[in-house]
Amino acid sequence: MAAQSGKDLLVKVDMDGNGVFETMAGLRATRLSFNAEQVDVTSLESAGGWRELLAGAGVKSASISGAGIFRDAATDERARQIFFDGATPGFQVVIPDFGIVEGAFQITSIEYAGSHDGEATYEMSMASAGALTFTAI
C-alpha cells in the first residue's frame, strides 16, 4: 500500500441532522484515537502469575481532535452551536484508502487563538457519545 497524504484524513460534521456531512473548514491537522479499558481478572490461579484480561468487557471510546485556520464557514458556526447546545450529532472521519468511521460525538473543547501578525486559528476536541460504525472503502 502506498503512503497516504495527511490532508486526505477528513473530519466531517452532520450539518442538519439528516446525514448531510460537510468537511470541517480550515483543518490542517486531525487525529482519531480509539481506546478500550481493560478488565483485569488475574487471580492466584492465573498461569505463571501472568495478568489475565476479560475479553470484550471494557468500555470502548474514541476521540477526535483537530487544529487549523479559522475560516468563519458554515461548519465553524455549526461546531460552535453544537458545543453551546451540548449536542451529540453525527460525525465522520474519512481515513484515506481505508474507510469511514461514523457516529455521535460531543465537542468537548474549542479554542480560538491568534497573534497580531498571523492568522486566526482554532483547535477542537470531541469524544464519542455512542456506538461507532466502520465502513471499508
Cell triple for residue 57? 468487557
Number of structural domains found in the chain: 1
* Domain-embedded: residue 117: yes
Dihedral of CA atoms 77, 62, 129, 25 in degrees, nearest 10, equals 10
Residue 18: the pLDDT is: 93
107 in a domain, yes or no? yes
Cα–Cα distance for residue pair 93/9, rounded to 1 Å: 7
Q: Which three cell numbers stand for residue 124?
A: 477542537
Q: Is residue 1 part of a domain?
A: no
Judge whether 75 lies within some domain: yes
Q: Does the residue 112 lie in any domain? A: yes
Q: What is the pLDDT along the chain (137 residues), one digit of tens a residue?
A: 678 888 889 999 999 999 999 999 999 999 999 999 999 999 999 999 999 999 988 999 999 999 999 988 899 999 999 999 999 999 999 999 999 999 999 999 999 999 999 999 999 999 999 999 999 98
In a domain, 87, yes or no: yes
- On whether residue 50 sits in a domain, the answer given is yes
DSSP 116: T
Tell me the residue range of the domain where 83 lies.
6-136
CATH of the domain at 66: 2.30.110.20
Residue 56 lies in a domain: yes
For 116-129, the pLDDT digits (tens) are 999 999 999 999 99
